[in-house]
Amino acid sequence: MGYPPPAGPLNATEPNHVPLRPNGRTVHIVARLVYPDREEWRPAQTCRWTDTHVLAQWWRDDGTEDLCWLAVADVRRVIAVEREG
């Protein structure tokens, strides 16, 4: 992978207050990542969180680790789709 590294997701945003310490446990999530040309839902895990934001850690297709703060609306623990019939 060349430098500079790929740009982060467009929906990355920081909370007003960033916790300095981890919250104590890792929670596995699915993170919604928005890029100029696509939207991805990637397996991820939490590092820290607030009432409004989650610091998500995920791995790019090349195995590179990435982190960013996302709004809680952009993360899920489960994605459920209703079936017809």
Instruction: Place 85 in a pLDDT band, splitting at 50, 70 and 90.
Output: confident
What's the angle, vertex CA 56, arms to CA 51 and CA 62, rounded to 5? 170
pLDDT number for residue 19: 84
Mean of the per-residue pLDDT values of the chain: 89
pTM: 0.84
For residue 73, the SS3 value is helix
Q: What is the pLDDT of residues 11-65, one digit of tens each?
A: 999 999 888 777 778 999 999 999 999 999 999 999 999 999 999 999 999 999 9
The helix or strand, by DSSP H or E, that contains position 37, with its residue range, turns out to be: none
Q: How far is CA 49 from CA 5, 12, 15, 66, 76, in A?
A: 25, 14, 9, 16, 13
Contacts of 44 (CB under 8 A, 6+ apart): 28, 29, 30, 31, 56, 57, 58, 75
